[in-house]
């Protein structure tokens, strides 16, 4: 398997808000800064897989620190259900990862992506991404 394609969504309130976003975007493929992990819904994730992602990484604020009260926790709950739904299409639950932490400089983002890519590489390609 070639290097797995990981799509990474990161909340701007805890991740890379002190970084030069355009510079970081040039260094990180498929990185999408967002306002709150709670904005990620199932459609975004399914769309990523349908467009060739091997995995989706969501970086949100630490628990108790979401600027929209509980968007990160709502996403955590939503992902639990979504992983079950995606299993029907042979998309393993490990292909979606949520990390709730803080990284103002965004220095850890590439490492998180790399670590997930290694794990996904062991799974191989998605057998079926379409219904
Ligand atoms: Fe960062 Fe909600 S504001 S996860």
Is 131 a domain residue? no
Q: Is residue 129 part of a domain?
A: no
Is a pLDDT exceeding 50 seen at residue 131? no
pLDDT digits (tens, 9 = 90+) for 101-120: 999 999 999 999 999 999 99
Domain with 101 in it: 8-123
pLDDT for res 128: 66
The three-state secondary structure class of 79 is helix
Buried b (16+ CB within 10 A) or exposed e, 61-98: beeeebeeeebbbbbbebbeebbeebeeeebeeebbbb
Which pLDDT does position 15 carry in this prediction? 98
Decide if pLDDT at 77 tops 80. Answer: yes
Element (H, E) at 121: helix 109-123
For ligand 1, mutation pick of 60, 62, 63, 74 (most atoms within 8 Å of CB)? 60
Task: Compute, in angstroms, the gap from residue 125 CA to the centroid of ligand 1.
Answer: 31
Q: Is residue 34 situated within a structural domain?
A: yes
The response to whether residue 100 sits with its C-beta less than 6 Å from ligand 1 reads: no
Task: Quick: pLDDT tens for 17-72.
Answer: 999 999 999 999 999 999 999 999 889 998 999 999 999 999 999 999 999 999 99
How many domains does the chain divide into?
1
Q: Check if 33 has its Cβ closer than 6 Å to any atom of ligand 1.
A: no
pLDDT of residue 119: 96
| pLDDT confidence of residue 90 | 86
Q: Which of 52-56, 77-81, 86-90, 91-95 has the lowest mean pLDDT?
A: 86-90
Averaged pLDDT, 77-103: 93
- CB 86 within 8 Å of CB 57: no
CA of 112 to the centre of ligand 1 (A): 18
**Any ligand 1 atom below 6 A from CB of 59:** no
């Amino acid at each position: 398997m070639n290097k797995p394609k990981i799509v990474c969504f990161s909340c701007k309130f805890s991740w890379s808000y002190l970084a030069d976003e355009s510079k970081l975007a040039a260094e990180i493929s498929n990185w999408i800064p967002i306002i709150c992990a709670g904005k990620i819904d199932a459609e975004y994730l399914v769309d990523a897989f349908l467009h060739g992602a091997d995995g989706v990484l969501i970086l949100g604020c630490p628990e108790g620190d979401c600027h929209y009260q509980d968007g990160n926790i709502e996403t955590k709950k939503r992902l639990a259900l979504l992983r079950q739904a995606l299993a029907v299409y042979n998309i393993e639950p490990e292909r979606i990862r949520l990390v709730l932490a803080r990284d103002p400089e965004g220095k850890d983002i590439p490492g998180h992506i790399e670590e997930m890519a290694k794990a996904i590489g062991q799974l191989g390609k998605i057998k079926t991404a379409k219904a």
